[in-house]
């Protein structure tokens, strides 16, 4: 639950060209809320919030679901539409997390090959999967 009460101002607008970080920073400053206030209300480490505002997704947790949760909590504190914020997240961070996921899958494939070096064992495991 967010403790910040947002003040809706008449000039509350942003451009579609803004990245996620630019959009959040713009809306936060427009509402007169400090980054420290967001950190206290969401209990998210300020360095992660700064990373979001700088679009530095490499500083966020590697799990995309956690990064999205941070961004959604930030958006709730500013009373922003979560769908819009998540759309911007996907546009800004999508390739970062896609590349991370692909790298993780590649490591998993390599590790699986090391665990099951014998082809007959791989076939045996596949047979069990088919049976169950």
Per residue in 33-83, pLDDT (tens digit) is 999 999 999 999 999 999 999 999 889 888 888 889 999 999 999 999 999
Instruction: Say what the pLDDT of residue 61 is.
Output: 84
Per-residue confidence band for 6, with pLDDT thresholds at 50, 70 and 90: very low
In Å, what is the CA distance from 41 to each residue of 1, 23, 25, 38, 88?
8, 19, 16, 5, 22
The pTM of the full predicted model, rounded to 2 decimals, is: 0.63
In Å, what is the CA distance from 6 to each residue of 34, 35, 65?
12, 14, 26
Going by CATH, does the domain composed of 20-131 fall within 1.10.260.40?
yes
Instruction: Say what the pLDDT of residue 95 is.
Output: 66
Instruction: Say what the pLDDT of residue 30 is.
Output: 96
Segment among 11-15, 41-45, 89-93 with least mean pLDDT: 11-15
Kindly state the DSSP code that residue 6 receives in the 8-state scheme.
P
Residue 19's SS3 state is: coil
Kindly state the DSSP code that residue 58 receives in the 8-state scheme.
G
Ranked by mean pLDDT, which of 3-7, 46-50, 57-61, 122-126 comes out on top? 46-50
What's the rounded Cα separation, in Å, for the pair 35 and 78? 11
């Amino acid at each position: 639950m967010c403790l910040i009460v947002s003040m809706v101002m008449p000039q509350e607008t942003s451009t579609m060209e803004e990245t996620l970080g630019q959009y959040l920073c713009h809306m936060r400053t427009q509402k007169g809320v400090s980054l420290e206030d967001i950190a206290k209300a969401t209990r998210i480490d300020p360095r992660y919030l700064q990373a979001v505002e700088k679009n530095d997704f490499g500083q966020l947790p590697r799990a995309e679901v956690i990064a999205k949760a941070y961004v959604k909590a930030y958006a709730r504190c500013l009373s922003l539409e979560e769908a819009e914020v998540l759309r911007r997240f996907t546009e800004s961070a999508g390739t970062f997390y896609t590349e991370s996921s692909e790298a993780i899958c590649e490591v998993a494939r390599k590790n699986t090959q090391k665990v099951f070096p014998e082809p007959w064992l791989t076939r045996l495991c596949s047979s069990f999967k088919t049976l169950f």
